[in-house]
Every structure is written in structure tokens, then in C-alpha cells.
């Protein structure tokens, strides 16, 4: 094999690396630090393969053409000088891609460049020391012993890159991992082949191929950038933030949510949702570079601040808040936008990407003003996220449990029935109360499953015969109003109860008054339909809502449950007493039975005895307790 083959190897490397370069520049992937390092590696391979071709042409002419020597020597030196830089640059590239570069101290950076400078100094001294190579008297290229140092240094950088990869394995997505491992394998393969057979110039060819692999998998970020707005997308945010979290990098995130984005569509008459990005993009780019801006939803942007000392999240939040207090000029119009701005510090205040997306996707009400939320305020948003998980877990793993709280006749304080109240026992969050998880379950559409579970448990309990045995008339089951309005609701409820074959009149459904049902006609239809099937009905929490009295009392309830706040208010003021007394009188005149909730003391009980109330419920008698405890309780009452 002769120089022709050498030339072919170098030419192939040259063509591949130039092609990668052309692609990289035409697709404008040049502005990130990572891109710059990549281009740097490409330039090295392009120039090296060019030197290689010159050497392959020049060497056979050395004995005949005098002027060939300087050209060949210049090519050799350029080859060594540049090639020595390839592994260090690759090491830097891996540290940027893995995110560890942001964590390196200045000293670490200086230290890691020392071996590189040693090899460069060796090349510079080669004309005098001939420590790397020389041309012997027969114009033969001869390698010196010390050349091995260059290989050792290259191997050292490779090893350091492998270590980096090892430590940041979890921070890199599968595609990037694959590309970097591919790079290792191909390059090492090329070096080994060339080492075994000096005639096969495999090294550069392998490097060019490996760089092409990197381009296809790491540098091409088409799937990470929004084609319309040019900002990074959700996927990119997830990948990068995961990287920061795993590497425990100190960065601040600022999440900007425009709460009245629909105004843009109204003002411009355009249905294009990207207009918001168009309006704010220049301003955002004036704060941080484009590579640190992500657009996760049409109205949500996240800015990543890598250098807290230079610019921190709170400062940026204030800047943004200030800017959003002034109108935005767009197509000759002034548009005033409201925003909710949230800042968090990584890794302390945000420990996983799931929470990140709860923050990013949380629904913010339009408060007609711009608000800033700092990390600590986010706790409730993040808790909400955990709560959603807990609800799903509870449904999967039997975490829900029904508690019972007894109700009594005022007359003789005899047991009347019980209210079924759901609890959630979560392995992570502990025991959770319905006040917190029911509204969330309603929003995420899981309330129907919870209510079904409670109804089934109650049916099972009724079917056991125990409630009847102790003289209980019925068990109260809470219903979510939104549920009741769904088509097929009545059939669904009936099918569950029929499964257990229990008497429908022993189930008393409660619907809360405070939820303003917009569709009273439909609700009224559902209530009377369920009653036709034999169920009883109670209006819950009377006195907490501001619903239309006429509408609410047009519903066919058997019982009205007066909320504890009315009872407690009556103890405190004269006005409270008038309200409670007259509410009871009014409901009594309408011919509904009355239950008062929240009876905690003997005094309250005595006060109620003066009024025409039918039933009582409260901690004075018992808190809600698990089924077995409840059975014990009613057994004792009987004795």
C-alpha cells in the first residue's frame, strides 16, 4: 500500500468533515458554546486531512524535488499542533453537553489544559530535539520514542471524557449518550487500526465519521426548537433542567406566564398564538441569550440564569415585572399584558422535572396585574403536583378509606345515621384530608372514581346489615355537583347500588349549596330522577354559599344541613343568633327537615334544643372514624 492509499484516506476524511461543516453553517447552528466547540473539532479534522493529503503527495517527491521538504514539514507540524487539540476540545465538548462544564472551577480548567500544553511544547521543540518525528537521510518519516507521550495525553483526555460521561450518565438523554459512545468507539477503532498497521491512515477518517455522528445526534436540535418562534421547547427544557438538577448546578429559573394572552388575539383579530412570542421575544433576548429561553406553552416562557452572581432570578423577576407594567407596542397598537412571574433556585427549591412542569403548567388566574412569586411561594403549587400523584396512587393502590361520622336525632339524642367521609392514606404524604384533595380530584377528573369508591364502600356496609341492626336510618354520601350534571349519571349510580342490592332509601346523597350550579334545570332533573328511584337528598353546607335562594330551594331536598359556621356564628354575636334562628324557621316552614353540623360543645347542644332542629352532627358526639371504630362506637351506644 502506498501513498495513493494514504491520500484516499485523508481525502475521505476531508470530504466528510467539510460536508459536516457546510451543514452546520447552513443550518445556523453556530451560536451556542457547544456548537462552537463542535465546529472547532471539525476545523481541526478539515485542516488535518488537508495536511495529510499534502504529506501523501509531498513525501514521494522528497528525494527529487527540493522545495517539497518545507511543504511536507509545514504540513506535519500543522498536523501535530492541531491534532493535539482534538482530544482536549472533545473533553470540553462532553463536559458542556453533560452540563458539568458549568460546575468546573477555574483551577480545574487550568489544570485540565496542562497536558495539552505539554504536547504542544513538544511539537514546538521538535525541530531541535526531534522528540516526535524526523526525516532520516533516506527521506523516510521516522517516529521518535517520545511520540508515545502524545498518545498518552490523548488517552488521558479520552479517559477523562469517559469519566465525565460516567458521572453525568443520568443527566444526558439517550440520543446524546448513544452519539458520544459512538464517537468513542469509532475513534478508538480508527486509532487501533492505525496503530496496528501504520499504512492504514484510519485515525482521521474515523474522527471525521465520528463527528458526523455527533452532528446527526447531538448538534441537530430540530426537535428541540420551535420552528415558528425559534425558542427552545418543552423537551429542551426538560433535558437541560434535568441536567442541572442531576449535576446539582446552581441556576435560577424564571418562569413567565402571561395571564391575559387572549387579548392579543382580540386586539389584532388574528388567531395566531405565536404573536405573543413575537411581541416579547426581543425584550426577553435583551435579558438572556436566546439559548437560555424556552417556550413551554403558547403563553409561558422560562429563562435560565446560569450565572447567579451576574444576574439572579429575583433581579430578572423585578425587571420583567417592571416591563410588564408598561404597554407593548405591536403593529402600531399598545397592548398591556399581565404576567405571573415565578422564580426558583436550583437545586434547592426544585428537585425534579415533574415539579418543574407543575410550575410551568399551573393555571394562573388573570388578576389584572402583574405578580411576582418567589421560590417559597411555589410550595403550594408543588404540593399540588404531589397531591395529583397521591390521588392517582391512592386509586391504584387502595389508599382511599371511608370514615364514618354519626348523626343523631335532637329528640332523645338517638342515633340517626352517619355521613361517609373519605380519607387518603398516602405512603409518601401521609394522611390527607378531603378539603385539600377533593377540589384537585375534581379538576383533574378523578372525583368520579373517588365518589364511586365511597358509594361502593357504603353499599357494602349497608349490605352487612350492621347499620340497620343499630337503628340507623341511612348513610349520607357526598356527591360532587359537577359529577351529577354528567350524562348518564343517574343510571350509573343506580347500577352500582343495584349490584349490592341494598334499599335505595338507606342512601342519602349530599350536594353542597356553595357550589354555584349554573344549570339548575339539569340539577333539578337529576335530583328528582334519583328521588324517583328511592334515594334521599340533602343540601349540604347551607349558609356558606351565595346561591340564588329561589333556585336552590326549588330543588327537591329532604334535608337541609346547616353549616357549622352558622352555628358557631350564633354563639358569638346577636346578629349570628338572628341569622341561625331565622334560617331554621324559614327552612322549617318550607317543610324540610334540618340537620345542624359542627356541634362541638354542650352549650351549642343546649342552644339548639330551643330551636326546631331535627338532627345533629359534630365532634361533641364523635369525629369521623374508620368503619371498625364506628361499629364499636354504635355498639357501645346501644349498651
Residue closer to Ca ion by CB (options 386, 436) is 436
- Binding Ca ion (rule: CB under 5 A), the pick from 48, 84, 300, 478 is 478
- Say whether residue 375 binds ligand C2E (CB under 6 A): no
- Binding ligand C2E (rule: CB under 6 A), the pick from 624, 627, 630, 634 is 624
Q: Which parts of 271-300 interact with ligand C2E (CB under 6 A)? A: none
- Binding Ca ion (rule: CB under 5 A), the pick from 203, 299, 349, 510 is 510
Stretch that binds ligand C2E, among 4-12, 92-100, 258-266, 432-440 (CB under 6 A): 432-440
Site string for ligand C2E, 487-526 (x = CB under 6 A): -----------------------x-x--------------
- Say whether residue 543 binds ligand C2E (CB under 6 A): no
C-alpha grid cell for residue 307? Answer: 450565572
- Say whether residue 421 binds ligand C2E (CB under 6 A): yes
- Binding ligand C2E (rule: CB under 6 A), the pick from 172, 256, 320, 438 is 438
Residue closer to ligand C2E by CB (options 370, 480) is 480
- Binding ligand C2E (rule: CB under 6 A), the pick from 207, 451, 513, 614 is 451
Q: From the list Ca ion, ligand C2E, none, pick the one residue 99 interacts with, judged by a Cβ distance below 5 to 8 Å according to partner type.
A: none
What are the residues whose beta carbons fall under 8 Å from the beta carbon of 472, sequence distance 6 or more?
415, 416, 417, 418, 506, 634
DSSP string, 222-287: GGGB-TTT-SB-HHHHHHHHHHHHHTT--EEEEEEEETTTHHHHHHH----TTHHHHHHHHHHHHH
- Say whether residue 541 binds ligand C2E (CB under 6 A): yes
How many residues touch ligand C2E under the rule CB under 6 A: the total is 26
What is the smallest separation between the CB atom of 480 and ligand C2E, expressed in angstroms?
A: 4
Residue closer to Ca ion by CB (options 79, 461) is 461
Q: How far apart are CA 297 and CA 281, in angstroms?
A: 14
Residue closer to ligand C2E by CB (options 368, 628) is 628
- Say whether residue 600 binds ligand C2E (CB under 6 A): yes
Which element (helix H / strand E) includes 402? strand 400-409
Q: How far apart are CA 629 and CA 402, in angstroms?
A: 12
Q: Around Cβ 400, how many Cβ atoms within 10 Å?
A: 21
How many residues touch Ca ion under the rule CB under 5 A: the total is 4
The burial of 111, by beta-carbon neighbours within 10 Å (0-12 exposed, 13-18 middle, 19 or more buried), is given as exposed
- Which of 154, 220, 217 shows the shortest CA–CA distance to 181? 217
How distant, in Å, are the alpha carbons of 560, 563, 585, 612, 617 from that of 591? 10, 19, 10, 12, 20
C-alpha grid cell for residue 380? Answer: 403550594
Residue closer to ligand C2E by CB (options 34, 512) is 512
- Say whether residue 467 binds ligand C2E (CB under 6 A): no
What is the smallest separation between the CB atom of 605 and ligand C2E, expressed in angstroms?
A: 11
- Say whether residue 513 binds Ca ion (CB under 5 A): no
Query: Cis peptide before 136, with omega less than 30 degrees from 0?
Result: no
Residue closer to ligand C2E by CB (options 456, 522) is 456
Q: From the list Ca ion, ligand C2E, none, pick the one residue 435 interacts with, judged by a Cβ distance below 5 to 8 Å according to partner type.
A: ligand C2E
Stretch that binds ligand C2E, among 327-335, 362-370, 373-381, 596-604 (CB under 6 A): 596-604
DSSP string, 25-69: HHTT--SSHHHHHHHHHHHHHHHHHHHHHHHHHHGGGTTT-TTHH
Q: From the list Ca ion, ligand C2E, none, pick the one residue 451 interacts with, judged by a Cβ distance below 5 to 8 Å according to partner type.
A: ligand C2E
- Say whether residue 478 binds ligand C2E (CB under 6 A): yes
C-alpha grid cell for residue 109? Answer: 480548567
- Count CA within 13 A, CB hemisphere, residue 287: 25
- Binding ligand C2E (rule: CB under 6 A), the pick from 592, 598, 614, 615 is 598
Q: How far apart are CA 232 and CA 281, in angstroms?
A: 12
Residue closer to Ca ion by CB (options 253, 493) is 493
Residue closer to ligand C2E by CB (options 97, 455) is 455
Stretch that binds Ca ion, among 100-108, 211-219, 488-496, 533-541 (CB under 5 A): 533-541
Residue closer to ligand C2E by CB (options 99, 394) is 394
What is the smallest separation between the CB atom of 486 and Ca ion, expressed in angstroms?
A: 20
Q: How far apart are CA 209 and CA 216, in angstroms?
A: 11
Residue where the block lists cell 388567531 = 271
- Binding ligand C2E (rule: CB under 6 A), the pick from 435, 501, 572, 639 is 435
| Strands laid side by side in the 339-346 sheet | 293-297, 300-305, 251-258, 339-346, 371-373
Q: To 5 degrees, how large is the angle CA 578–CA 417–CA 475?
A: 110
- Binding Ca ion (rule: CB under 5 A), the pick from 301, 540, 542, 562 is 540
- Say whether residue 541 binds Ca ion (CB under 5 A): yes
Q: From the list ligand C2E, Ca ion, none, pick the one residue 58 interacts with, judged by a Cβ distance below 5 to 8 Å according to partner type.
A: none
Collapsing DSSP states into helix, strand and coil, what is residue 389?
helix
Residue where the block lists cell 334540618 = 594
What is the smallest separation between the CB atom of 604 and ligand C2E, expressed in angstroms?
A: 9
DSSP string, 75-102: HHHHHHHHHHHHHHHHHHHHHHHTTGGG
Q: How far apart are CA 89 and CA 254, in angstroms?
A: 32
439-461: b (≥16 Cβ within 10 Å) or e: ebbbeeebbbebbebbbebbbeb
Residue where the block lists cell 403558547 = 298
Binding site for ligand C2E (CB under 6 A): 405, 421-422, 433-435, 438, 447, 451, 454, 478-480, 510, 512, 540-541, 564, 597-600, 617-619, 624
Binding site for Ca ion (CB under 5 A): 478, 510, 540-541
Amino acid at each position: 500500500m502506498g501513498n495513493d492509499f494514504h491520500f484516499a484516506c485523508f481525502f475521505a476524511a476531508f470530504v466528510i468533515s467539510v460536508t459536516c461543516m457546510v451543514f452546520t453553517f447552513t443550518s445556523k447552528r453556530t451560536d451556542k458554546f457547544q456548537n462552537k466547540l463542535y465546529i472547532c473539532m471539525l476545523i481541526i479534522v478539515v485542516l488535518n486531512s488537508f495536511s495529510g493529503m499534502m504529506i501523501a503527495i509531498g513525501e514521494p517527491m522528497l528525494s527529487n524535488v527540493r522545495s517539497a521538504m518545507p511543504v511536507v514539514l509545514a504540513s506535519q507540524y500543522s498536523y501535530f499542533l492541531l491534532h493535539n487539540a482534538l482530544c482536549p476540545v472533545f473533553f470540553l465538548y462532553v463536559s458542556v453537553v453533560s452540563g458539568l462544564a458549568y460546575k468546573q472551577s477555574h483551577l480545574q480548567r487550568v489544570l485540565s489544559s496542562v497536558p495539552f500544553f505539554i504536547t504542544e511544547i513538544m511539537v514546538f521543540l521538535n525541530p531541535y530535539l526531534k522528540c516526535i518525528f524526523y526525516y532520516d537521510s533516506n527521506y523516510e518519516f521516522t517516529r521518535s520514542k517520545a511520540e508515545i507521550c502524545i498518545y498518552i495525553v490523548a488517552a488521558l483526555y479520552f479517559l477523562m471524557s469517559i469519566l465525565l460521561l460516567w458521572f453525568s450518565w443520568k443527566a444526558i438523554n439517550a440520543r446524546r449518550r448513544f452519539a458520544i459512545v459512538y464517537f468513542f468507539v469509532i475513534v478508538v477503532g480508527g486509532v487501533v487500526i492505525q496503530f496496528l498497521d501504520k499504512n492504514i491512515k484510519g485515525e482521521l477518517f474515523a474522527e471525521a465519521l465520528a463527528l458526523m455522528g455527533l452532528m446527526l445526534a447531538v448538534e441537530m436540535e430540530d426537535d428541540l426548537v420551535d420552528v415558528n418562534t425559534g425558542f427552545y421547547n418543552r423537551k429542551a427544557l426538560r433535558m437541560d433542567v434535568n441536567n442541572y438538577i442531576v449535576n446539582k448546578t446552581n441556576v435560577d429559573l424564571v418562569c413567565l406566564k402571561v395571564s391575559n394572552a387572549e387579548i392579543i388575539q382580540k386586539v389584532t383579530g388574528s388567531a395566531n398564538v405565536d404573536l405573543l412570542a413575537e411581541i416579547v421575544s426581543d425584550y426577553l433576548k435583551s435579558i438572556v441569550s436566546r439559548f437560555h429561553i424556552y417556550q413551554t406553552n403558547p403563553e409561558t416562557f422560562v429563562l435560565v440564569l446560569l450565572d447567579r452572581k451576574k444576574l439572579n432570578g429575583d433581579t430578572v423577576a423585578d425587571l420583567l415585572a417592571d416591563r410588564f407594567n408598561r404597554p407593548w407596542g405591536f403593529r402600531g397598537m399598545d397592548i398591556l399584558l399581565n404576567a405571573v412571574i415565578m422564580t426558583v433556585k436550583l437545586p434547592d427549591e426544585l428537585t425534579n422535572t415533574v415539579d418543574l412542569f407543575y410550575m410551568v403548567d399551573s393555571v394562573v388566574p388573570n388578576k389584572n396585574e402583574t405578580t411576582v412569586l418567589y421560590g417559597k411561594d411555589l410550595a403550594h403549587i408543588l404540593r399540588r403536583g404531589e397531591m395529583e400523584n397521591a390521588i392517582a396512587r391512592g386509586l391504584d393502590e387502595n389508599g382511599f378509606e371511608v370514615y364514618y361520622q354519626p348523626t343523631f336525632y335532637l329528640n332523645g339524642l338517638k342515633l340517626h345515621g352517619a355521613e361517609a367521609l373519605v380519607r387518603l392514606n398516602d405512603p409518601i404524604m401521609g394522611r390527607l384530608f378531603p378539603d385539600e384533595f377533593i377540589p384537585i380530584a375534581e379538576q383533574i377528573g378523578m372525583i368520579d372514581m373517588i365518589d364511586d369508591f365511597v358509594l361502593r364502600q357504603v353499599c357494602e356496609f349497608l349490605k352487612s346489615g350492621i347499620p340497620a341492626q343499630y337503628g340507623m336510618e341511612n348513610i349520607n354520601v357526598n356527591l360532587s355537583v359537577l359529577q351529577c350534571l354528567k350524562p348518564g349519571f343517574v343510571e350509573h349510580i343506580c347500577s352500582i347500588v343495584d349490584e349490592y342490592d341494598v334499599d335505595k332509601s338507606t342512601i342519602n346523597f349530599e350536594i353542597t349549596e356553595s357550589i354555584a350550579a349554573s344549570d339548575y334545570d339539569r340539577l333539578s332533573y337529576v335530583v328528582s330522577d334519583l328521588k324517583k328511584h328511592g334515594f334521599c337528598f340533602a343540601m349540604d353546607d347551607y349558609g356558606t354559599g351565595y346561591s340564588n335562594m329561589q333556585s336552590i330551594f326549588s330543588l327537591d331536598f329532604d334535608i337541609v344541613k346547616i353549616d357549622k359556621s352558622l352555628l358557631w356564628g350564633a354563639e358569638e354575636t346577636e346578629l349570628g343568633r338572628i341569622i341561625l334562628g331565622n334560617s331554621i324557621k324559614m327552612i322549617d316552614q318550607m317543610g324540610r327537615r334540618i340537620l345542624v353540623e359542627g356541634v362541638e360543645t354542650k352549650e351549642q347542644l343546649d342552644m339548639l334544643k330551643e330551636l326546631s332542629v331535627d338532627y345533629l352532627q359534630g365532634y361533641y358526639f364523635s369525629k369521623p372514624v374508620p368503619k371498625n371504630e364506628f361499629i364499636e362506637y354504635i355498639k357501645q351506644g346501644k349498651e
